Chains A and B, each alone.
Chain A
Amino acid sequence: MVLLTAPLKVRTHLTDRFWRTQDLLQYARHFRGRKNRCYRLAIRAVTRAFVKCTNARRLKKKNMRTLSINQITAASQEHGLKYPSFISNLVKCQVEFNRKVLADLAIYEPNMFKSLVALAKRRREEGFAAALGDEKEPAGIFSQVVHYQWR
């Protein structure tokens, strides 16, 4: 609607109601029942849909992380190690993969994942040996922390 001056604006009535309702009904066209046609019912359904969409964006990240963790747990249990010890020992070996990548490796690179589990197991045993024995023995090969300037 083009209303440029005050006198013009006083003598008008609403003319673009059709487009205002269509703006909302376009989002409801794939719904079931009368809420895809009738504006009053569609407002409620579309609002709920938008709110669910917003909340799902937060939950998707949470669910994907849970899924990755479950996949990693399953894969490491196949090789005889539990998820908490696998992750903690991998981090102690300075191998910083996130759960998404670890889950991808577990699915698509099984041999690689097996060697990662073996590394974590070995680091775990070295940790136990260091804790149970005296502090006079040197740290194991895989327990040595690398300090270097990466560049």
Chain B
Amino acid sequence: MSSSPTSQWRTLGDIGHCCHPCLNPWEPHGANVFHRPLPKTSLTSPPWPKIILPDPEEETQQHREVLRRVNELIATGQYGRLFAVVHFASRQWKVTNGDLILIENTLDAKCGERIRMEKVLLVGADDFTLIGKPLLGLDLVRVEATVIEKTESWPKIYMKFKRRKNFRRKKIFIRPQTVLRINTVEIAPSLS
């Protein structure tokens, strides 16, 4: 496999290499000067596993195939119940049709009003899921909810007490609450 020693010297003469084979192949140039397979020691390869990323063209083809199938499924409507992860009232909720949500503050909407939740992070069905980076588009998902109830919480007690120091503080606080019922989670077939 290797050419004669004189030709080796000619190709590498301008760099000015030494004639010993380098035992550290992690350097970008000059590794394995004599093109001979080195004996496998603890230092011939780096301690981390070698990373081989898949071929980009093959990958794009696979991705296109997956997109086509998912678009087909969505267009023909072959999904059952959909669930969504929604960011609402500074919390994330995993939500389907018919779920009840309790929110510990007031909303501007009146009882019985229909609300659309716009910050949708994820929509999933049995066979496929759509993950947003970080949010999904408004034309893609629609999550609707109705305000059912606007109440207050039970009286919660906030108490501090330090023994032998005559320190006792008591406060009763009542938080407003809103109950929402998730009516629908829908997808529109406009994936690209």
Contact = CB atoms under 8 A, between A and B. Distances in A.
Interface of A: 47-48, 50-51, 53-54, 93-98, 100-101, 104-105, 108-109, 112, 115-116, 125-126, 128-129, 132, 140-141, 146, 150-151
Contact of A109 (B124, B160, B161): B124
Nearest to B158: A54
A101 B94 contact: yes
Contacts of B138: 151
B124 A140 contact: no
B56 A51 contact: no
Contacts, number: 64
Contacts of A93: 133
Nearest to B157: A50
Contacts of A116: 131
B interface majority secondary structure: strand
Nearest to A94: B133
A97 B159 contact: no
Nearest to A128: B51
A86 to B, nearest CB: 15
Contacts of B158: 54
Given A101-B94, A109-B124, A125-B51, A150 B161 contact: no
Given A125-B51, A129-B51, 19 more contacts: A47-B168, A51-B161, A53-B157, A53-B159, A95-B121, A95-B133, A100-B92, A101-B85, A101-B93, A101-B121, A105-B85, A105-B94, A112-B124, A116-B131, A125-B53, A126-B53, A132-B51, A146-B133, A151-B138
